[in-house]
Amino acid sequence: MPSLYAEIDINAPQSVVWEALVRKDQWRFWNTFLYDRVPGMRLARGNEIFLAMQRLEGDEETEFQPLITMVRPPSMMRWVSTIPGLRTEHVFELRENVPGRTRYIHREVFSGILSKVFLPFIRQDERQGLRRMSQQLKMHVEQTVLGNGQYDPYGYQNRNPDPRDAYGRPAYDSPDDTFGLTTTIAPTLIADTTAVAHGIIEGMTIETITHLRATTARVVRAEVVVSISHLLLHSLK
């Protein structure tokens, strides 16, 4: 199965790194890859949480609703998000190889018949996001948690965000939150995905494709979703 991977050594005990990682209500102070949309939802096995992802800083966000499948303090956490034809699993692992020094590992695994369609368009940006989060976690732990630094990649201390949302954006279920979707179909994107898309639609019903179009935006880029779903729907006519 295709996967993405990032790792980094953090000069801190495993328990300290774990505490920083699982306090998702504090991500807004250091994490520019994953956003906690509903801080009140706990990271506990069997719980669903609402997150957003920004693969590149300044890029549009992708919202998704993963299911927590494992929380094993202080060493491992897993969650899974699924849509028809695509399953994505995030695995976070901590290893204290020597006292006071922890290796942070973040792995993302893709599976399903649609992974071959979407992954080529998000692989590079998503890998950068994983690496950026690992670097920011290291800086947050070493400079802020254990040191006296004020690591603040958002400039959060200098602004007053909307109280509905920790990041100053509309709340998850706000009527004015459109998730930044676009209905523009990029011709080059369609040309690049035509062969793959035609190869997977056989046996898929119109109901499945319609549901895919409505839900896929939680996992991949909006413009990719809209373009490919239009292509699939057109192919079934």
- Convert the pLDDT of each residue in 122-160 to its tens digit: 999 999 999 999 999 999 999 999 985 555 565 544 444
Contacts of 16 (CB under 8 A, 6+ apart): 102, 141, 145, 146
Residue 22 pLDDT > 70, yes or no? yes
Q: What is the pTM assigned to this prediction?
A: 0.69
How many domains does the chain divide into? 2
Q: Is 116 helix (H, G, I), strand (E, B) or coil?
A: helix
The 10s digit of each residue's pLDDT in 50-67 is 999 999 998 999 999 999
pLDDT of the residue at 178: 31
Q: Would strands 62-64 and 34-36 be described as parallel, antiparallel, or unpaired?
A: unpaired
Structure token pair of residue 70:
């494992």
Residue 13 pLDDT > 50, yes or no? yes
Q: How far, in Å, CA of 92 to CA of 67, rounded?
A: 14
Residues in the chain: 237
Residue 80 pLDDT > 90, yes or no? yes
Last residue of a domain, one of 120, 142, 158: 158
Last residue of a domain, one of 108, 139, 158: 158
Same domain, yes or no: 191 and 90: no
pLDDT of the residue at 191: 42
Q: What is the mean pLDDT of residues 72-83?
A: 97
CATH of residue 91's domain is: 3.30.530.20
Has residue 179 been placed in a domain? no
Q: What is the mean pLDDT of the chain?
A: 77
The 10s digit of each residue's pLDDT in 167-223 is 444 443 333 333 333 333 334 443 444 444 545 555 555 555 555 555 444 444 444
State the residue range of the domain holding 214: 187-236
Residue 85 pLDDT > 60, yes or no? yes
Same domain, yes or no: 142 and 41: yes
Q: How far, in Å, CA of 187 to CA of 168, rounded?
A: 34
Residue 161 pLDDT > 80, yes or no? no
Residue 105 pLDDT > 60, yes or no? yes
Same domain, yes or no: 48 and 93: yes
Has residue 170 been placed in a domain? no
Q: Which of 5, 222, 3 is nearest to 133 (CA)?
A: 5
pLDDT of the residue at 186: 38
The 8-class DSSP code of residue 37 comes to S
| Stretch (H or E) spanning 198 | helix 187-200
